[in-house]
Structure 1
């Protein structure tokens, strides 16, 4: 499970962004799939968390976290050069 958990490292602290959890407290499989693709692309945890929360031109200036129903598309955007 730890390899599936997005963590943000700030100074000596480690934080787990809430966007990766469902309302029931489980890991959201859509975020887990995206994070797995990010790790394969060698994207650091902190950058992935920032990417999830930042409006993207490729997504009509919406945030990836708001488009989780389009996981396949988000993987393509994440892996684009």
Structure 2
């Protein structure tokens, strides 16, 4: 979940990798209004790779696609992600 407040995240005992992301304020507000008991996903990250340029790191493209109608009709459904 995105938040404007700063928090520490301990990944020392994590069994799998964790991705952290800085998200737009409108997305954070939408996610914060989501009922935690709702089992439906909020979004998904899609990785695209050009198979003809598989060795070229610039051929990787990451997008975040918002699931359903996450709170606001004005919320974009897809975001391009910069990975670093």
- Larger Rg over CA atoms: 2
TM-score, reference length from structure 2 = 0.31
Judging by fraction of residues, say which structure has more strand: 2
Structure 1-normalised TM-score?
0.31
Higher helix share: 1
